[in-house]
Amino acid sequence: MRKFFVIIVVLFSPFAFCKGKKTVLTPFQKNIRDCLQDGVDSQKLTSLPKIYKYVSDRYLLLTSEIVAREVLYKLKNETRKLKFENGNVKLYKVLEDEDDQLVPLNNEVRQRSLTSESYLAQLLLNADIRSDWTKVSEKRSGSTGVVLTSIDGEMKSLTIERSQLKKKLECLLSELAPSCSCVDLN
Distance CA 69, CA 151 (A): 10
**pTM across the whole model:** 0.79
DSSP track, 103-119 = EEE----S-TT--HHHH
What residues make up the domain containing 76?
A: 69-131
Number of domains in the chain: 2
Helix (H) or strand (E) holding 30: helix 27-36
The length of the chain is: 186
47 plus 80 within the same structural domain: no
Whether 104 shows a pLDDT value over 80: the answer reads yes
Helix (H) or strand (E) holding 135: strand 128-140
In a domain, 80, yes or no: yes
In a domain, 15, yes or no: no
Sheet of 167-173, strand order: 102-105, 88-94, 78-85, 61-75, 128-140, 144-151, 154-162, 167-173, 178-184
Handedness of CA 46, 48, 53, 55 (dihedral sign): positive
In 3D, which of 149, 156, 170 has the Cα closest to residue 36?
Answer: 170
73 plus 125 within the same structural domain: yes
- Write down the pLDDT at residue 22: 65
146 plus 172 within the same structural domain: yes
Whether 73 shows a pLDDT value over 70: the answer reads yes
In a domain, 56, yes or no: yes
pLDDT digits (tens, 9 = 90+) for 19-53: 555 677 888 888 898 888 888 888 888 899 999 99
127 plus 145 within the same structural domain: no
Whether 112 shows a pLDDT value over 80: the answer reads no
80 plus 100 within the same structural domain: yes
Distance CA 179, CA 51 (A): 12
CB 43 within 8 A of CB 30: no
Mean pLDDT of 128-150: 95
Distance CA 35, CA 182 (A): 6
79 plus 108 within the same structural domain: yes
